[in-house]
Amino acid sequence: MSMLNLVYLIFAFIPARAENICSAARDRPGVARLSTVDEQLKCVLSNIDPGYIIDLTRRLVATRSVYDPAVPGATEEAAARLVAAELSALGLAVHVEEVAPGRPNVIADWQGSAPGPTLLFEGHTDVVTEGNPARWTYPPFSAELVDGRIYGRGSADMKSGIAAAVGAVRALARSGLPYRGRIRLAVLVDEEDLMLGVKHFIRSGWAKGVDGAIVCEPEQNEVCLIQKGAMRVRVEFTGVMAHGAMPQAGVNPIPWAAEFIQALGRLEARLVQEHGENVHLGRPSLTPTIVQAPAEGPPQLNVIPAAARVFVDVRTIPGVDHRRLEADMRAILSAMSERDPRVRAELEVFEDRPWTETPPDTPIAQAVAEACRRAAGREPVYGGVPGATDGTFLSAWAGIPIVTLGPGDRYIPHQVDEYVEVDQVIEAARIYAASAVLFSARHPESRALGRGAEQAG
C-alpha cells in the first residue's frame, strides 16, 4: 500500500471530525441562508470520503463498458447497473431507462429538504476501445492504483468524474444539512458515438426544470464555459464511369472533389480571418478527413469511377453561424457547376452539433468559480472543451446553462495508459459538492418544475 492510499484510508474513517463541524451548521435549522454558507461548506466538505470515491472509480473502471454491436453483451449495462445500485443505496430515487437494447441511462434524484433550484451532474458510462491490451503498462481494466494515479480505460473519460459526482451527492446527503433544491444525476450511454443517451434523456423530459448543469468530463478541473461546435458533412460527386484509356467517354468526378477541397481551404482561411482565434478553443477548421473514389465498389486503376465522396470534419468556435457556413459550402458547389454544367454534387450535413457558450455571470458559472476558491483553495482556471460532449445537447436542445469541469488531463482520453490523478478526482468531488451548496444558496428560485417534480418536498 502506498503512502497516498494510506492517507486516503485514514481520511475515510474520521466521521467524528465531520460530526463536530456539522453540528454547528445543523444548529441553525431552516433553509439555506447566506450567513450559514461557510458552515455548510465546511460540513459538506468534511463529509467527502476520498476512500469511497477512489474505490468507486476503480470498481467502475474494472467494469468494462466498451460498446461493440458485434459482440453480444458488450454494452454499458454492467457499469450502469453498478451506478444505479450505488445511488439506490444512498437513498436516491433511481430511474433506469433503456435507450437501446442493453444500453440503459441512469437518472437519479436527490431531493433536498425544501424546494429550490435543480442542479444536474452529467456523465457517461461508455468508454472507447482499449485497442491492443498488450500495449498497456497495466491491463486496461485492472484499475491499478499506482503512485496516486488510477490507470485504465475510462479512468479519466469519465468514470472518475461519475464517482466524484456520486461522492459529492453522498457528502451532501450524509451531512444531514437542510438543502434547498434538488440534485439530479444523469449517467448516460453512447456519448462517444451518436449521443443517443443524452438525446433520449432530453426527449424523455428529464432536462425540463433543470436550472444548471455540471458536465463531469475530463478537463483537468478547469472551468469550461465554452465548447467547440461540429458539423459532419458528406459531399457526393457523380460522374460517368468509363475506361481509363478513353477518358472522353466518361466524366471523372475526382478533379471536382479536388477542386472542392481546395476551395474549402480558402473558405477556412476566410472563417479564421472573420472569427480569429478563440483564447481557449483556437481556430475554426474545415478538415477533409475521408476522400473516396470510387465511392462504392473496388478501385481499379484503369477505370474512371462513377462517383467520388468527400467527408469534412467541421469544427467551429462561438460566433460561427452553422447555417451560413453550410450555405457557403453549397455556394462552392454551385459555382463549380456554373463553370462546368456536367458537375453534379450533393452535400449533406448529417450531424450538427452547435458550439456552446455559457456567460460567466450565470448562477451555475458563478457557483462553480466560487467553489474552486472555497473548496480547492485556488482561483478558477478557465478553459474550453475542444470536442462535442453530451453538454452540447443539454445546452443547444434543452437550453440548460452548462459548465464542463472534471478530473483528468484533457489530452489523456482515448490514449493507451489512460490514467487519472487521485488528487484531481477528490478535488473535483469537493468542487462539485461546494458548487451544489453555492448554487442553491445563490439561486433565487427554481424554474418551472419539470419531470420528477412530483417528488419535490
* Smallest separation, CB 207 to Zn ion (Å): 19
Residue 338 one-letter amino acid: E
| All three cell numbers of 323 | 447555417
Residue 392 vs 446, nearer CB to Zn ion: 392
Residues 61 and 143 sit within 8 Å (Cβ to Cβ):
yes
Residue 130 vs 157, nearer CB to Zn ion: 157
Give the list of residues 6+ apart from residue 170 with CB closer than 8 angstroms, or none.
Answer: 47, 49, 52, 90
Residue 51 vs 386, nearer CB to Zn ion: 386
Residue 157 interacts with Zn ion (CB under 5 A): yes or no: yes
Please provide residue 51's backbone torsions phi and psi, each rounded to the nearest 5 degrees: -60, -45
Residue 158 interacts with Zn ion (CB under 5 A): yes or no: yes
Q: Which stretch binds Zn ion (CB under 5 A): 100-108, 126-134, 151-159, 254-262?
A: 151-159
Residue 390 interacts with Zn ion (CB under 5 A): yes or no: no
Residue 147 vs 193, nearer CB to Zn ion: 193
* Smallest separation, CB 188 to Zn ion (Å): 11
Total binding residues toward Zn ion, as defined by CB under 5 A: 3
* Smallest separation, CB 123 to Zn ion (Å): 8
Residue 195 interacts with Zn ion (CB under 5 A): yes or no: no
* Smallest separation, CB 141 to Zn ion (Å): 17
Give the list of residues 6+ apart from residue 134 with CB closer than 8 angstroms, or none.
Answer: none
* Smallest separation, CB 340 to Zn ion (Å): 45
Distance CA 147, CA 421 (A): 9
Q: Which of residues 6-25 bind Zn ion (CB under 5 A)?
A: none
Residue 60 interacts with Zn ion (CB under 5 A): yes or no: no
Q: Which of residues 207-226 bind Zn ion (CB under 5 A)?
A: 217
Q: Which stretch binds Zn ion (CB under 5 A): 9-17, 153-161, 200-208, 428-436?
A: 153-161
Q: Which residue is nearest to Zn ion (CB)?
A: 157
Q: Which stretch binds Zn ion (CB under 5 A): 91-99, 152-160, 356-364, 376-384?
A: 152-160
Residue 36 vs 221, nearer CB to Zn ion: 221
* Smallest separation, CB 202 to Zn ion (Å): 18
* Smallest separation, CB 189 to Zn ion (Å): 12
Residue 363 vs 408, nearer CB to Zn ion: 408
Residue 39 vs 217, nearer CB to Zn ion: 217
Please provide residue 417's backbone torsions phi and psi, each rounded to the nearest 5 degrees: 60, 35
Residue 286 vs 420, nearer CB to Zn ion: 420
* Smallest separation, CB 407 to Zn ion (Å): 12
Residue 157 vs 259, nearer CB to Zn ion: 157
Nearest to 123 by CA among 152, 165, 153: 165
* Smallest separation, CB 435 to Zn ion (Å): 19
Distance CA 124, CA 20 (A): 36
Q: How far is CA 221 from the centre of its chain?
A: 13
**Contact residues for Zn ion, defined by CB under 5 A:** 157-158, 217
